[in-house]
Every structure is written in C-alpha cells, then in structure tokens.
Structure 1
Amino acid sequence: MSAIHIILQGKGGVGKSLVAALIAQFLKADGGAANNVFCADTDPVNDTFARYDAFGAKRIKILNSNQNIDSRVFDGLIEKLLEHDGDAVIDNGASTFIPLSAYLVENDVIDLLQSAGRVVYIHTVLTGGQAMDDTMAGLHSLLTSQNAPVVVWENEFFGPVAKDGKTFVDTKMFRENEARIAGIVKIHQRNPDTFGKDVELMVSNKLTFGETMTSPLFTMMPRQRLKTVQRSIYDQLANVLRASEVEEPRAAGKIKAAKG
C-alpha cells in the first residue's frame, strides 16, 4: 500500500521542511524509479520544500484572503492524494498548523485516506533548547486530535532533546501515548565544525544527499560525512516505517527507534 506522510508542527524554524526532504529522499531511494513520490508544499510563508528541484514539489496556496484554510483548495489536494499511485509527502507551515489540524479533524480526512487503502503517517519535530516546550505542546496537540500514527523526529541541532535530564521517552506524554507513536527518528547532534557545516551547506543549497556526491561544493571528506548522516536517517526510517506496516497497531513497549 502507498503511504501518505504529513509533516505538522506548530513551532516554526525547527526543521519541518528538512524532515520532509529527508522523507522524500528516502522514499525515492527505497522504491527506485518505480516509486512515484508526489510532493506538495502548503507553507504560505516559507516554501522551503518546494525549492528542492529534485522533488518537484507542487506549491499549494491553501490560505484565502482572510488567512483561513481554503477548504476547496485543500479538498483538491486530498483528491489528488486519493488518485495518486504512489507515496506522498506533504509539508506544512507553522502558521497553518491550527487551521489545518482542525480541517483534518472536521472532515475526517485521516479516516477517508485510510479507508481508501492509504497508510497515513503524521510526522512532527521535537527540538532541544528553548523551543522544546513549544514543540512538545505541538506534539501533544497532534496526539490528542489526530488518529494517525505519529513519527517523532528528535532534531538535536539546538542541543539534546531533553529537559531536566529526561528524554522524550521518559516523559508522561510518551507513556500515555506510546501506542500512538509509530517510532522515533533522531537527527543526531554531531561535530558542528565538520558534520554541521556539511549538512548546513547541503540544506542551504537545497541539495539531496545524492546531489552532493557530484556537486563541486563538496569534496571527498564532506561527502563521506554526509553518507554517514544519510545512512543513519535511512536506517531509522526503514526501521520505523517497515515495522509499522507489519505490526499495526504497534504493541506497547516496542519502540521502533534505531540507533546510529
């Protein structure tokens, strides 16, 4: 069955578009040329995902002049997802988090997609540092309002995703919602002078891992480091998504988070 990956988080600047790009790359690599991945960017403020040439993401303006969700436009996107033969990745902006979440609930969108044979995942980002509380609030909102399995991305760019010595899996939120969480993918904090600069250069130029292997912006060692980052992300995603397909709903106590 094809899968639909929806990225949602109410806090801006935490790496949502990066997550969308990583998922799209993984799906294209995992399925090869036969996997026709449909990509869409509904962020009305920052069309970061749409600026990746490799994905051909369709820019969809879902806000009307009153800054409300234009239901007819989003209706069209849902119909496209139902018609599309393959996986899909939908990136969304922080400014549309609340109205878009409400649209999904009001129109039973997740149920509609699932009843049509689509596997639906909601991906959200947790980040360390000052934004951790805000991203946790966004995750809590999704867990209490949406009925699709949630993949949690721990982005360590701003530091370890932990508070008072407790990681996400140590929290009450995780314990109470463990059956809803398909898995955890970590974007590990690495040496900022090597790995950090390599990833920043890749992201700022809207390049995929594959494109960095031929880009003149990168020499041998940066390419090697990016291969390490790619392998870590891909291994974790494969562990989470394939395990979710086999075991749904996931048995409690078997968190699907890969190390690396």
Structure 2
Amino acid sequence: MKTNLTPLNILLNTTHWTLQGKGGVGKSFVSTVFTQYVIERGYNAVCGDTDPVNSTFHRMTALNVMLVPITEGGTVVQRLFDPLFESILGTQDVSIVDNGSSTFLPMGKFISSNFILETMQEHGKQVFIHSIVTGGQAKDDTVTGLLSLIDLVKSSKTNAKIVVWQNEFLGIPEFHGKSLAEMPWIKNNSDIIQGIVTIADRNSDAYATDIRMMSEMHLTCREVMESDQFGLMAKSRIRRVFTDIYDELDRVFGLVQES
C-alpha cells in the first residue's frame, strides 16, 4: 500500500506496548497491524511478544517477532522484564511489545514499581501504550483495563501517551447513549490520550471471516495480497480494513501529506 505521507521522524525512537487485561479482544491483532503500519511508513520495527500463553504475535514470521521469556516454572518473574526494557532503550528503531492478558497485572506492577516510564523519559524514549476497548460483554472489563493504564501514566508524571483502539468487530462501545470519545475519562485526559483508532464495524460477516482467516494463518496484509488462498474480493476487503486503520493512525500520530 503506497502512501503520499511523510513520517518526518515522528515515530523514530518511540516504543509501543499493547496492554489490556481482558483476553480475546484483539491485542495481538493491534500489535500486528501497527507493526505493518510502521513498516509501510518507512520505519524499522523491532518486535517482542511477552505472552507466555498465546504467543500469536510471535507467530507472525514475516514480522520477525522475538519471543521474550518472562516466566519460570509457570510463574511470572519480574527480573526477566529487565532485558526487554534494556533492549528497548538500546535502539532508535520503533519497538513494539505485545503483552498477554495473563501478564497484564505483573507487567503493570513492574512498570510502576521500577519507574519504567520515568526511566524511558530520562533516556529520551517516547512511550505509547496501546489499549483496546470493545462493546458487548467485554466492554466493562476493557474499560477497567484502560482506566488502570490512565492511572499508571498519570501517577508517573511523564510524557507517556495512550492510544485507545476501539474494536467495533466485537461491538461498538456505547455508554448510556454516548460514544467512547464523549466519556469524561477520555475528554478529561486529553494530555494523556494520543487519540482513538477505530477498527470499524463493517456490518458484514465477510470482513470478520477474512480477518479471522488471515489471523489464523499468521499472515500479514502483504502476504495475503500475494497468496492464492484468498480471492480477489477477500483481498479487497482486507486491503480496505488495513487502509482505513492506517488512515486512522496517520491522523492520531499527525503524519502529514507531502506538498
């Protein structure tokens, strides 16, 4: 997918962590889409998967995602996070980390108790935490996860930002007739919330089926376009999903058109 946008080094030396305590809401999908976006916009991406249970991000062979061991004997060991964050500090490339729901609380505790956000800022690293909010049965749980991340960033008093992903494939989140963007915990934290990226509900099971097949096969959008396992219509639908999300990300990160 070609673009007439120029990154202007906006994402250089940034790190992106996908965090959400509710499982099955699209964390790995967000990480894989964002990584492909970063690559399409001309950056190098360094990726890690800390999910000890469902290492979906790691299975994306084309993205060269490193599996980061953070457990011993089935137990999360906080000192095992050290190499991950040291490697993030050691690169100017865009780093992307996908964290599992089972390790959400240990990761949050490590970030807070070890002053990770403060350390990142001291070393000139801009942190973006990506979190998903959905509708349906998972709505309340995903909101709880997001609110805990807002508290984490606020308590750190750093320049870390949160990117909120509204995953409408699992239902459009509404709150007494109001949208996610209208909620006070979004509006009153504009200094923390980088923006909202919408994964739009297409009102068609064909889109959901295509995305599910692509995810189950651990393929990138480019690989789908080159595959003979997807028809022209399926490829068109998948391309549209990615193009629209990329446009959302361009808006959120302020990429501008070339003159």
Give the structure-2-normalised TM-score: 0.88
Q: SS state of the match for residue 179, structure 1?
A: coil
Matches within 5 A, 1:1-260: 1-31=12-42, 35-65=43-73, 67-71=75-79, 73-146=80-153, 147=156, 148-242=160-254
Distance 2:208 2:178 in 1: 25
Alignment-mate amino acid for residue 34 of structure 2: I
1:137-170 Cα offsets, whole Å, 9 max, x none, are 0000000012421000000112111133221122
Distance 2:107 2:203 in 1: 37
Alignment-mate amino acid for residue 44 of structure 1: P
Alignment-mate amino acid for residue 111 of structure 2: L
Q: CA deviation at 1:102?
A: 1.0
Distance 2:168 2:205 in 1: 15
Alignment-mate amino acid for residue 176 of structure 2: D
Distance 1:39 1:75 in 2: 16
Alpha carbons 2:168, 2:199 under 8 Å: kept:
yes
Distance 2:58 2:74 in 1: 23
Distance 1:19 1:153 in 2: 8
Whose RCO is larger (CA < 8 A, sep 6+)?
2
Alignment-mate amino acid for residue 109 of structure 1: I
1:170-202 Cα offsets, whole Å, 9 max, x none, are 222223322210000011111333222211111
Partner of 2:7: none
Distance 1:216 1:99, change over 3 A: same
What runs of 5+ residues in structure 1 fail to find an aligned partner?
244-260
- In the TM superposition, structure 1's runs of 4+ consecutive aligned residues that sit over 3 Å from their partners are none
* Residue identity (%): 38
Distance 1:164 1:217 in 2: 43
Distance 1:106 1:50 in 2: 27
Q: CA deviation at 1:66?
A: 6.4
Q: SS state of the match for residue 121, structure 1?
A: strand
Distance 1:164 1:206 in 2: 37
Q: CA deviation at 1:19?
A: 0.3
Alignment-mate amino acid for residue 75 of structure 1: D
Q: CA deviation at 1:3?
A: 1.1
Alignment-mate amino acid for residue 50 of structure 2: T
Distance 2:56 2:102 in 1: 14
Give the structure-1-normalised TM-score: 0.88
Alpha carbons 1:15, 1:155 under 8 Å: kept:
yes
Q: CA deviation at 1:238?
A: 1.5
Distance 1:176 1:142 in 2: 15
